[in-house]
Chain A
Amino acid sequence: MLRERNTELAGATSRLESASADEAALLRRIAGGDRAAFETLYRGYFPRLTRFLERVMRRPQAVEEVLNDAMLVVWRKAASFSGESKVSTWIFAIAYRKALKALKKFDEPVEADDDAAESPQPGPEGHLMQRQLTALLWESIGSMSAEHRAVIELTYYHGYAYREIAQIMGCPVDTVKTRMFHARRRLRLMLSGWKGELQ
């Protein structure tokens, strides 16, 4: 089983490396002032960054501006990308710093919005449990700090390794693990409660 997983992992790693090389080439063109290359990179990152910023900031109205601020930094600083990390790690780190800066401007200890904790919509019965779980999940995640939400989002949705998350967030790997540990504890409590309700 481990061998199969490692083979799959090797395939995925090779695809990621190839994507990363393409992005590095795009970034070199951007450093030379190539707007078309920049727009290609922008379109490629827009869905991922929107999702990440929405989850971390929980301020849907501010996401677009923060995302554009981050991409403007990418445009201006493309020449300073050293290649020591992956392009995606570099871009996410810029977006994360911009998100924290914007949150400071709101001057809030980032609490959950009522809007962000989506309530389950009526739907086919088979989807109802999933929807309930999702709603509870957002509620629980919404009560965490931006840092905890970022670790969860980067791990579960964007599929980053903990070392990459440490690079993005500019913190030691142990801090990433500790944040994840606390976040998991809360999510686990939520999940146990949900299971208890079902039984």
Chain B
Amino acid sequence: MSGDVLSFTKSVHQRSQELLPWYVNDTLEPEEGSLVEQHLQGCSTCREELDCLRALQSAYVSSDIPPDSEAALDKLRARLDSEARAPAVERQRPAAGLPALLARGPMWMRLALAAQFGVIFALGWEVVQTERTGFEYHTLASGSTPPRVAGSLVVVFDPNATQRQVARILHHSGARVVDGPTAANGYVLALAHGGLQAALSELRAEPAVVLVEPLEAPTTP
């Protein structure tokens, strides 16, 4: 930008001199190329400079040794592999849903997610069983069906999510943490006002949420 402003104060000769190296490598904009070309016709100093620059470019390009990429790539492969084994060093990747991660992620990630899902499932099963017991107790004691308190679900946050992000997500979805973190960093959430499907959709749309699954089957008596 500043170059364009300053260029108004420069003579055509100065601008031409300045642009000559890029005239030689053919990268000037058409109007800049025309300016240089026209100026060259009437300026022997610039023509001499042009010859000099062409000689330099030809000398410059002539010495090239094609290197061998494979040995160096082998070393980088080892670094990529060790990085893949140590998930603490996270690669920046676009937000992706669980199916995408399972389908295209590296093997360690697929295994980790499968294990995580297993733990969450076990944890969820336990919660459901506890709730069912409680539910049956109340049913027997009162003789009537009490309203289902709230939807429950399990969520796994991106390990890189900040505390502020997690708090915002919870606030938005109207959920509160009732259990966790599990060994797999899963949290059991209870919804304050029901609306399980809406909360699920909302949470699934959050890039910082890796996984969210309902814990309960539909509550038909």
Contact = CB atoms under 8 A, between A and B. Distances in A.
A50 B79 CA distance: 19
A160 interface: yes
A2 B33 contact: yes
Interface residues of B, number: 46
B91 A33 contact: yes
Q: Is the interface of B mostly helix, strand, loop or mixed?
A: helix
B93 A33 contact: yes
A68 B76 contact: yes
A6 B33 contact: yes
Contacts of B53: 184
B220 interface: no
B37 A130 contact: no
A-B interface, 6 closest residue pairs, ranked by CB to CB distance from nearest: A161-B27, A46-B69, A173-B3, A156-B60, A50-B67, A174-B3
Contact of B21 (A47, A156, A173): A156
Interface centre among A38, A43, A156 (most CB of B within 10 A): A156
A71 interface: yes
A76 B91 contact: yes
Interface string B17-56: 1110110111110100110010000000000010011011
Contacts of B64: 51, 157
Interface of B: 1-3, 6, 17-19, 21-22, 24-28, 30, 33-34, 37, 49, 52-53, 55-57, 59-64, 66-67, 69, 72-73, 75-76, 79-80, 91-94, 104-106
Contacts of B34: 2
Given A162-B27, A177-B3, A75 B22 contact: no
Interface of A: 1-2, 5-6, 8-9, 12, 31-35, 38-39, 42-43, 46-47, 50-51, 64, 67-68, 71-72, 75-80, 118, 130, 133-134, 137-138, 152, 155-157, 159-162, 164, 172-174, 177, 180-181, 184, 187-188, 191
Contacts of B106: 33
Contacts of A67: 72
B104 A33 contact: yes
A6 B76 contact: no
Nearest to B61: A157
Contacts, number: 124
Contacts of A80: 92
B3 A172 contact: yes
Contacts of A78: 92
Nearest to A172: B2
B56 A64 contact: no
Contacts of B17: 181
B6 A64 contact: no
Contact of A156 (B57, B104, B105): B57
A6 B52 contact: no
A76 B94 CA distance: 11
Given A79-B94, A191-B55, A162 B22 contact: yes
Contact of A72 (B57, B62, B69, B76): B76
A6 B27 CA distance: 10
B44 to A, nearest CB: 16
A30 to B, nearest CB: 10
